[in-house]
């Protein structure tokens, strides 16, 4: 039987989540996605109206099929955690069962199990502020949406993951090197995500035979990255300084993710894998 993947963090056809979905679909996996509640309507409408058909094309000419789209807000674990103002918000009121626990329950009800869990989401409300000017709330919100969201997803999905399965997340080198402009505690959030990758690899490996890795991806002009404001500069910098001088395509990250959740990488876990044209290996810009 083919593998089944749940990919959290797909809301358009520009980001890494979409590219990972395509690579997994091309390798024969069944695709389920989790889409941030406020972005759900426009994503589903665009899908239905064929707006993504061109980018749904797989190498064999067929179109990627998304079996089901689940509304998800990965900063809430259970219904009782959702504050009143969010419950009443009209962008949330039209959807239901979108906390992490409820989504895992729905996927279990609908499909029984999954093999692959992908975390391709991040959010830092103060990302454009330097760390020194970041509020406590902004910092904690970045960690909640970008780091604990992975702990929570794995915690709730791992009981329905088949042994031998794997998970992957996306991180950024700002966790370990100074990248001015990646603020609001987002650098801290990525450091937590990378450290958690190791601890969770041990825990999920021992208890469930599940592998946990993260991809440290180079810069991509996704919707999230454009919101940070410095992405064009980062793409230019990478092009100028990386060992491989080309623009990074989302598909290259998608393909590496497909490898890291496949049996081809059965001995790789707890790793940060760089998919960045080698930029991480440079000591100076030239
Ligand atoms: P993207 O906009 O395609 O993906 C981010 C997604 O997160 C969006 O779909 C958004 O709706 C979703 N999201 C935000 N808050 C959420 C929440 N609370 N619950 C559920 N979903 C939520 O952008 P992307 O750049 O492809 O980001 C995917 C991952 O790649 C992120 O972890 C990001 O940090 C990482 N990354 C990006 C770059 C880059 O240059 N774009 C580089 C390295 C790592």
Q: What is the pLDDT of residues 30-58, one digit of tens each?
A: 999 999 999 999 999 999 999 999 999 99
Tell me: the pLDDT tens digits for 233-242? 999 999 999 9
Quote ipTM for the complex: 0.99
Position 1 scores a pLDDT of 74
CA dist., res. 5 & res. 196, Å (int) = 21
Position 175 scores a pLDDT of 98
Half-sphere exposure of 184 (CA within 13 A, CB side): 21
pLDDT band for 141, please (50, 70, 90 cuts). Answer: very high
- Tell me the mean pLDDT in the region 261-269: 98
Q: Which residue has the tokens 């709730």?
A: 156
pTM of the model: 0.98
CA of 247 to the centre of ligand 1 (A): 19
Contact yes or no for 189/146 (Cβ under 8 A)? yes
Question: Which ligand 1 atom sits closest to the C-alpha of 18?
Answer: 3
Position 135 scores a pLDDT of 98
Position 285 scores a pLDDT of 84
CA dist., res. 286 & res. 283, Å (int) = 10
pLDDT band for 140, please (50, 70, 90 cuts). Answer: very high
CA of 221 to the centre of ligand 1 (A): 11
Give SS3 for 269.
Answer: coil
pLDDT band for 59, please (50, 70, 90 cuts). Answer: very high
Across 27-36, 73-82, 224-233, least confident range: 224-233
Query: How much of the chain exceeds pLDDT 70, in percent?
Result: 100
pLDDT band for 229, please (50, 70, 90 cuts). Answer: confident
Position 254 scores a pLDDT of 98
Position 120 scores a pLDDT of 98
Which of 224, 233, 250, when mutated, tests ligand 1's pocket best, judged by the most ligand atoms within 8 Å of its CB? 224
Pocket (CB within 6 angstroms of ligand 1): 9-11, 14-17, 36, 39, 72-75, 120-123, 145, 170-172, 217, 219-220, 222-225
CA of 145 to the centre of ligand 1 (A): 10
Which residue(s) pair with 188 in the sheet? none
What is the set of active-site residues?
Answer: 172, 182
CA of 123 to the centre of ligand 1 (A): 7
């Amino acid at each position: 039987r083919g593998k089944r993947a749940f990919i959290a963090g797909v809301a358009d056809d520009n980001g890494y989540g979409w590219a990972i979905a395509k690579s997994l679909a091309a390798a024969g996996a069944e695709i389920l996605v989790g889409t941030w509640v406020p972005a759900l309507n426009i994503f589903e409408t665009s899908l239905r109206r064929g707006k993504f058909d061109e980018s749904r094309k797989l190498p064999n000419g067929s179109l990627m099929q998304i079996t089901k789209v689940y509304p998800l807000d990965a900063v809430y674990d259970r219904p009782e955690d959702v504050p009143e103002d969010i419950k009443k918000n009209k962008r949330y009121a039209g959807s239901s069962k979108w906390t992490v626990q409820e989504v895992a329950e729905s996927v279990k009800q609908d499909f029984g199990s999954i093999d692959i869990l992908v975390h391709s989401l991040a959010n830092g409300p103060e990302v454009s502020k330097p760390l020194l000017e970041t509020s406590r709330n902004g910092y904690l919100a970045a960690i909640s949406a970008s780091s604990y969201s992975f702990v929570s997803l794995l915690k709730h999905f791992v009981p329905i993951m088949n042994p031998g399965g794997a998970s992957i997340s996306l991180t950024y080198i700002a966790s370990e090197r100074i990248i001015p402009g990646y603020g609001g505690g987002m650098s801290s959030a990525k450091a937590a995500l990378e450290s958690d990758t190791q601890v969770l690899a041990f825990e999920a490996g021992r208890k469930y035979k599940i592998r946990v890795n993260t991809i440290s991806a180079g810069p991509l002009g996704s919707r999230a990255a454009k919101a940070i404001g410095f992405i064009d500069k980062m793409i230019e910098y990478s092009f100028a300084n990386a060992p491989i001088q080309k623009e990074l395509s989302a598909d290259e990250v998608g393909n590496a993710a497909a490898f890291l959740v496949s049996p081809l990488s059965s001995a790789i876990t707890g790793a940060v894998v760089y998919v960045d044209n080698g930029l991480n290996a440079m000591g100076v810009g030239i």
